[in-house]
A and B are shown apart, each in its own frame.
Chain A
Amino acid sequence: MIFTTYWFFAFTALTLAVYWLLPVATLRWWFLAAACTVFHGHFAGPAGMAPIVVLMAITYIAGFSQKKWACLAAMILCGLTLCFYKYALFFIGIAIEPLSSGLAAQLSDAAKKIMPGAPPLGISFFAFEFVHYLFEVRRGGEPIRHPVKFLLFSIFFPSLVAGPIKRYPQFLAALETGSRQILASNFADGLRRIAIGFAKKVAIADNLTFLIDHQQPQFATLGLFDRWVFLAMLAFRILLDFSGYSDIAIGVAKLFGVDLPENFNWPYLARNIQDFWQRWHISLSSWIRDYIYIPLGGSRHGPVRRVTNGLIAFGLCGLWHGPAWNFVIWGLYHGVGLALCATYDKIPGVGPAISGLFKKEPTIGFVLTQIFVWIGWLVFFYPVAEALKMARLLFGL
């Protein structure tokens, strides 16, 4: 984890000191852009940096031109780049391998020769932010003309590692306002968030990881209560781990006077699946909504299209987490959950009754939502067959 390296601490401290010692905001932007480039170069290396620099240049030029076709072409390129670096081998495995294993092997070898050892650092975040930018410019939004500001939007180091996925109008407004004057409140809030983030990640999530890894092989031999405790540990591990990252990112950005979007809002207090997705990984779920679900037609063309669009959006949301079937299935699982959540009250007879019950006793909705979400984490973390077995064992089956 980059946030727990000494390099990150030293870099942040040094960059922060110079940033605030510079007399005017413009100089701060230039300096911060240079520092972010150093940061990206340090962790991504030349092979990881090169594709991002190319994408960044194309995105900037396409946005600058404000030509719809250019923006569309650049969006497609961003999508293809993401698919190539992150999913090429997965797609070859699922699409080509069943038809011709020889061809699949050849394509895999060819892809491996071109690819760096690992996908470029933050490729998913870059692709999503660039697509958002191009989409909005294509829709008539004002492009970022200042190259330094565009560079800062692209590689602002606190959000480069694990998000949150930024929106450029908010980011630029926050940068312009926050970088003008040093505020004790920003420092205090930033340090508080960083401390909370580290406590979540290092003190709790990492320890839960140890307990989970220790107990998982013996899951079948655990008592029923302990199995549910295990599931709770799994659920809180991912929440605290991921929201810990986000807290650190938001806190560090705050030290530079920049507000990043929140990523979590007490998701385990959600009363239904829709509510959950408005509280969990907010920057991703809102991106999926704005740039996949709604462009596909959203809920505008009847319940069948609505459900289909939801399933596509959430299948892709699952795939975003990694090139593996269990992530896709986890996404579809939530897609089905959302479809049920959006339509159950229309089921003749029982629908209104269930809806009435949930309204009268919201705790029932809360409990069912958490059970649904927590069981979903089994699919997220373990191979599907193993996850199903564990899910059965949770109910003593």
Chain B
Amino acid sequence: MSESTPQPANSVAGTAARPFFRPWTLLAGFLLGLGLMCWAGRTVTQRDLHPKDVRFHPMIAPDSQYEPTMGEMRAFVRARCRPDQILVIVGGNSILLGVGQPADRVWTRRLQEVLGERYAVVNLAFRGSSPTDGGAFVAESLRDEFPRQIYIANVAALQAADSIGIESYRFILFDAYYKGLLLPWAPRDQQLKDYLADPAYKAARFERRLGAQADAVLHFRDFWNWWSATKFFTFATPYQPDPNLAYRARAKFKDEETDYDTLPFDQRFSPSVIANDTLITRAYSANGYSKNAQDQWQLADASREQFLRYAANAFPDQLKPRTLILISRNSPYYTRQLEKDLQNRDETAIKDTIAGFEKFGYAALSYGQDFSPEDFGDRTHLTTAGGAKLAETTAPKIQALATQLGYLK
């Protein structure tokens, strides 16, 4: 530290170099560059960024901090469905994503085979997502472009979802909502309003909303996703399987979902997994049920009302009839060990769930009743054989729904 060499505060600024560009040229360049990137963002969403993929596998999903945009997912659908086909969008969680089934044997491929050329099945399910997340918003946004559409998602018994989806996938709602792609739906609007106004997160959520509103005009997320998918990933995250691949373009990653058929039983059903999943299976329908005077399982009024409220609000009324809710069962490996009484309770819960959804005009179907333990890779996810059975169970319901909705005229 020297007193003899005082450092004027602006000493560096004072040594101005001759500018390489004239100011107006540089300014115009900035504005032109911004304009071009916005235009590029708008344009790239017209292309399918994932032509080789059959689903949003972890390297092109939020699992690895890649957040697909509405534009990207809509292009994914457009590239897989001709206007003369009936669009079948599969949403829901990892079960319908096909976790445990490799890309070439994923259940939605089998569903496509069973349904035939008249239909186009597009898998937009994500791990842990609810029926009202990504795929649901994409389907809703394409309601005019593909008016003959069926949306499929899955839940467990008496499980329903908020109309604004779950936190991990709410970026998709924001993207769709602020780009004006969704139908007006008062319960959803109110839920979103309440979500944004929550005092504990108000600033962070306002920030998120502002980002979505800015993106609706500037399309920067579409631009960066195109760049990240096709050129190189622009920031490293701890979620890549190998740090050396951190910057690799996401489109270059293959769909390497685990194949449960190749994993030995012992690895999928370790003692700790069995212990944990047994507890979960026993609790499948525990909430809200008690025995009535006739010794039958009965759902408490409060639980029923809560479920029905969710079901009523989850989707806009005009979309409910084209929505097929699949009610997932647990693997018989676990359910067969349950006491008869608990098995009855589960069946009652499944029936109540189907009735609840049908009351509001949804189609609903349970699956897994006739599945064997080999059809499940773990408690809930299916093997290739289980996936094929799911496809064969679901296809007739889809065809019936298509007939009922007048799609086959």
Q: Determine if B9 and A288 form an interchain contact, defined as CB atoms under 8 angstroms apart.
A: no
Q: Is B234 among interface residues, defined by CB-CB distance under 8 A? A: yes
Q: Which of A7, A167, A184 contacts B9 (CB 8 A)?
A: A167
Q: Determine if A183 and B23 form an interchain contact, defined as CB atoms under 8 angstroms apart.
A: yes
Q: Separation in Å of the A8 CB from the closest CB of chain B?
A: 9
Q: Interface digits, A280-309 against B, CB 8 Å rule (1 contact, 0 not)? A: 001101101100011000110000000000
Q: In the complex the two chains form, what is the Cα distance from A6 to B213 in whole Å?
A: 10
Q: Which of B1, B3, B9, B26 contacts A170 (CB 8 A)?
A: B9
Q: In the complex the two chains form, what is the Cα distance from A278 to B206 in whole Å?
A: 41
Chain B residues with Cβ under 8 A from A285's Cβ? 1, 7
Q: Determine if B238 and A214 form an interchain contact, defined as CB atoms under 8 angstroms apart.
A: yes
Q: Which of B1, B10, B27 has the most CB of A within 10 A?
A: B1
Chain B residues with Cβ under 8 A from A183's Cβ? 23
Q: Is A265 among interface residues, defined by CB-CB distance under 8 A? A: yes
Q: Interface digits, A26-56 against B, CB 8 Å rule (1 contact, 0 not)? A: 0000000000000000100000000000000
Q: Determine if A283 and B9 form an interchain contact, defined as CB atoms under 8 angstroms apart.
A: yes
Q: Interface digits, A197-214 against B, CB 8 Å rule (1 contact, 0 not)? A: 000001100110011011
Q: Determine if A6 and B1 form an interchain contact, defined as CB atoms under 8 angstroms apart.
A: no
A interface secondary structure, majority: helix
Q: Determine if B243 and A262 form an interchain contact, defined as CB atoms under 8 angstroms apart.
A: no
Known: A192-B26, A278-B7, A282-B7. A265 touches B238 (CB 8 A): no
**Could you count the A-B residue pairs with CB atoms below 8 Å apart for me: how many are there?**
99
Which residues between 182 and 239 of chain B lie within 8 Å of chain A, taking CB atoms? 203, 206-207, 210-211, 214, 234-238
Q: Is A310 among interface residues, defined by CB-CB distance under 8 A? A: yes
Contact size range, A = 35 or more
Q: Which of A188, A262, A277 contacts B10 (CB 8 A)?
A: A262
Q: Determine if B243 and A7 form an interchain contact, defined as CB atoms under 8 angstroms apart.
A: no
Residue ID in chain A nearest B214 by CB atoms = A6
Q: Which of B23, B210, B243 contacts A211 (CB 8 A)?
A: B243
Q: In the complex the two chains form, what is the Cα distance from A292 to B292 in whole Å?
A: 81
Known: A6-B207, A191-B27. A206 touches B3 (CB 8 A): no
Q: Is B253 among interface residues, defined by CB-CB distance under 8 A? A: no
Q: Interface digits, A1-38 against B, CB 8 Å rule (1 contact, 0 not)? A: 00001110110000000000000000000000000000
Chain A residues with Cβ under 8 A from B11's Cβ? 262, 265, 282
Q: Is A177 among interface residues, defined by CB-CB distance under 8 A? A: no
Q: Determine if A210 and B214 form an interchain contact, defined as CB atoms under 8 angstroms apart.
A: no
Q: Separation in Å of the A22 CB from the closest CB of chain B?
A: 20
Q: Is B274 among interface residues, defined by CB-CB distance under 8 A? A: no
Q: Is A377 among interface residues, defined by CB-CB distance under 8 A? A: no
Q: Determine if B23 and A188 form an interchain contact, defined as CB atoms under 8 angstroms apart.
A: yes
Q: Determine if A170 and B10 form an interchain contact, defined as CB atoms under 8 angstroms apart.
A: yes
Q: Determine if B10 and A184 form an interchain contact, defined as CB atoms under 8 angstroms apart.
A: no
Q: Is A338 among interface residues, defined by CB-CB distance under 8 A? A: yes
Q: Interface digits, A253-271 against B, CB 8 Å rule (1 contact, 0 not)? A: 0000001011001000000
Chain A residues with Cβ under 8 A from B26's Cβ? 188, 191-192
Q: Is A328 among interface residues, defined by CB-CB distance under 8 A? A: no
Q: Is B318 among interface residues, defined by CB-CB distance under 8 A? A: no
Q: In the complex the two chains form, what is the Cα distance from A314 to B1 in whole Å?
A: 9
Which residues between 85 and 112 of chain A lie within 8 Å of chain B, taking CB atoms? none
Q: Which of A9, A184, A299, A338 contacts B23 (CB 8 A)?
A: A184
Q: Determine if B237 and A7 form an interchain contact, defined as CB atoms under 8 angstroms apart.
A: no
Q: Separation in Å of the B28 CB from the closest CB of chain A?
A: 9
Q: Determine if A188 and B211 form an interchain contact, defined as CB atoms under 8 angstroms apart.
A: no
Interface of A with B (CB < 8 Å)?
A: 5-7, 9-10, 42, 166-167, 170, 183-185, 187-189, 191-192, 195, 202-203, 206-207, 210-211, 213-214, 259, 261-262, 265, 274, 277-278, 282-283, 285-286, 288-289, 293-294, 298-299, 310, 313-314, 338, 342
